[in-house]
DNA sequence: TGGTCTCTCCACCTTTTGGCTGATACAGCT
DNA sequence: AGCTGTATCAGCCAAAAGGTGGAGAGACCA
């Protein structure tokens, strides 16, 4: 029997312990490393060459989960990464899948679901929690309403309350471009003002 | 040596496993039960009479954490309850302390902090994570930052994405008055734009 | 190769918002 | 009777945001 090596990435100690305890009950799964940030994850992946990386998207400081996924996949395109996070935000799902995530699990997933996702990932299958799948499905059914990765990025910064100027600075684009993106976002969300966009975004996305 | 019995309440299986694994390393702490919802927590507390209840505030369905704390304390006023949650929302902290929580830990707390909180709780000491403590402190120090009822009403409508004009119509006041209220709200929240106010409002009230 | 997306940028104009400095009225408290 | 806090309203001006219409570069795909 082949054992599947797993790297855990999460800034919460208890979540790592929990996953370790849970995965430890499976004979064919071995946790070979842990990391508390994106940077640590890259190092640990290099060192342990895990078959699967189980990663939280929200990391307290430094590199965020999406960026970590991108870099992991860049260094090793075959690297299987499963997102394991608390919220099923539309934007996060799209960006994670875009960055190369093989699966998307919510933290309240049943243990069996987690095991299945890990085993599936090494075979190239992608597994996602039911709520996540339904959101993705909805997005596929309504292609007009999908935000592009860039738009999603902008929307996420928008919900922090930044001005157009600040958005431009943060994304290294001109204010004109910011306005263009915003106009597209408003159209897709069916709103007219940034206030409504923020409200819609936050209520629609995982933050409840 | 007296052992401290603990009941874990969290709708995330992995978090329960993690806490169990972590607490299991301590000779004087024993996990006597687990619950995935407020309702289960009440049952389990009755059955096991734990010295300490470690509880997540955000429970997927049914009774929420705050309500569960209230009921636990109502049935047994000596029941020690520690909140163990992901976010340090102002509103949640106040409500939890109000409901009778002995401590307030964030999920990224160090293991030692968790052990100390459990041991402290049985002695009637309250322990909270540093960010939580500083927020509580700020609230006590800055009574100026409390919004008046009218301002709160306006802020709540603001988070729906309404324009000044619409806010006026909805509240039967002139646009000028709306602007006055908004200026006061911005000052109290420490922001400059309505976008930031909306973001702050929603995040402060725990919806993240 | 041509079409479609996405991301980037620009100019012009209107509407909205925010900052500032006022004012009146009412309620509750001392 | 004064003081404080709250809620209401006004005008003026500068800054920010939104609407319109356009355009070029690069990626991807049929």
Q: For the beta carbon of residue A205, count every other beta carbon within 10 angstroms.
A: 21
- Residue B113 CA to residue A56 CA, distance in Å, equals 22
Read off the pLDDT of residues A139-164 as tens digits, 9 standing for 90 and up.
Answer: 544 545 677 778 888 888 888 889 89
Structure tokens at B159: 């988070």
This prediction has a pTM of: 0.58
Query: B-side interface with A, Cβ within 8 Å?
Result: 11-22, 60, 86, 107-111, 114, 158-163, 191, 193-200, 202, 207-208
The pLDDT value given to residue B77: 79
Confidence check: pLDDT of A127 > 50: yes
Does any strand D atom come closer than 7 Å to the Cβ of A194?
A: yes
Read off the pLDDT of residues A35-79 as tens digits, 9 standing for 90 and up.
Answer: 998 889 999 999 999 999 999 887 666 677 888 888 888 788 788
Contacts of B86 in chain A (CB under 8 A): 12, 86
Among residues B100, B15, B115, B108, the alpha carbon closest in space to that of B65 is found at B100
Give me the interface pTM, i.e. the ipTM: 0.58
Distance B54 CA to D28 C1' (A): 52
pLDDT along chain B (208 residues), means of 10: 89 88 92 91 92 82 75 84 74 66 81 88 75 55 62 85 88 90 84 86 60
Q: Report which of residues A137 and B33 the model is more confident about.
A: B33
A161: helix, coil or strand? Answer: coil
Among residues B161, B150, B143, B144, the alpha carbon closest in space to that of B202 is found at B161
The pLDDT value given to residue A1: 66
Phi, then psi, of A197 in degrees rounded to 5: -65, -45
Q: Which nucleotide, over all strands, has the C1' atom closest to the CA of A153?
A: C7
């Amino acid at each position: 029997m082949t054992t599947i090596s797993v790297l855990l990435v999460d800034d919460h100690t208890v979540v790592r312990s929990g996953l370790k305890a849970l995965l430890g009950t499976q004979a064919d799964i071995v946790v070979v490393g842990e990391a508390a940030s994106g940077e640590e994850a890259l190092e640990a992946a290099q060192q342990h060459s895990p078959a699967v990386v189980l990663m939280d998207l929200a990391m307290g400081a430094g590199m965020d989960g999406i960026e970590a996924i991108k870099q992991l996949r860049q260094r090793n395109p075959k690297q299987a990464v499963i997102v394991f996070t608390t919220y099923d935000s539309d934007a996060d799902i799209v960006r994670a899948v875009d960055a190369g995530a093989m699966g998307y699990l919510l933290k309240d997933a049943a243990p069996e679901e987690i095991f299945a996702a890990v085993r599936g990932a090494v075979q190239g299958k992608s597994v996602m929690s039911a709520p996540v799948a339904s959101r993705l499905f909805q997005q596929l059914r309504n292609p007009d309403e999908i935000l592009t990765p860039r738009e999603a990025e902008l929307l996420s910064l928008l919900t922090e309350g930044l001005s157009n100027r600040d958005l431009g600075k943060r994304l290294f684009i001109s204010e004109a471009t910011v306005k263009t993106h915003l106009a597209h976002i408003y159209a897709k969300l069916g709103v007219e003002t940034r206030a409504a966009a923020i409200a819609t975004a936050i209520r629609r996305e995982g933050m409840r």
